[in-house]
C-alpha cells in the first residue's frame, strides 16, 4: 500500500457541494447546530461564494472585498453586515421555540 501525504490529497471546497437550495439549507442547519458563531459567519461566506460573491456584494450593498474580509472564520463582522448578506442571499433568519 502506498503512503499518501496530506499535501497530495485534493483540496476540498464546500462551495463545490452547494449546488441546490436543499444543499445550502442542510449545510447551514448543520453549522447552526454546532453553535459556533465564527463557523456560522464562514458558512454564510461559503454560501455567498457559491451564489457568486460579486452578485451578493451588489445586492447587499457591501463591496466584494469587504465581504471576503467579513465572512471568513476569524472575522467578527457586525450583525448588520451578516443580515444584509443573508437578505441578499434570499434567506431569512428565524427563531423557533
pTM: 0.86
* Alpha carbon distance 31, 54 (integer Å): 24
How many domains does one find in the chain?
Answer: 1
List pLDDT tens digits, range 78-94: 999 999 999 999 999 88
Residue 9 lies in a domain: no
Q: Is residue 71 part of a domain?
A: yes
6 within a domain of the structure (yes/no): no
Look at residue 1 in the predicted model and tell me its pLDDT: 60
Whether residue 13 lies inside any domain: the answer is no
Low-confidence ranges of the chain (pLDDT < 50): none
Judge whether 37 lies within some domain.
Answer: yes
Identify whether 54 is part of a domain.
yes
Residue 49 lies in a domain: yes
CB within 8 Å of 34: residues ≥ 6 apart? none
Structural domain boundaries, residue 37: 19-88
Residue 59 lies in a domain: yes
Amino acid at each position: 500500500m502506498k503512503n499518501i501525504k496530506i499535501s497530495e490529497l485534493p483540496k476540498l471546497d464546500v462551495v463545490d457541494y452547494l449546488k441546490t437550495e436543499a444543499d445550502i439549507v442542510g449545510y447551514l442547519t448543520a453549522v447552526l447546530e454546532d453553535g459556533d458563531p465564527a463557523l456560522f459567519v464562514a458558512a454564510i461566506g461559503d454560501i455567498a461564494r457559491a451564489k457568486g460573491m460579486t452578485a451578493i456584494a451588489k445586492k447587499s450593498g457591501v463591496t466584494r472585498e469587504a465581504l471576503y474580509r467579513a465572512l471568513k472564520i476569524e472575522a467578527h463582522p457586525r450583525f448588520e453586515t451578516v443580515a444584509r448578506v443573508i437578505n441578499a442571499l434570499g434567506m431569512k433568519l428565524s427563531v423557533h421555540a
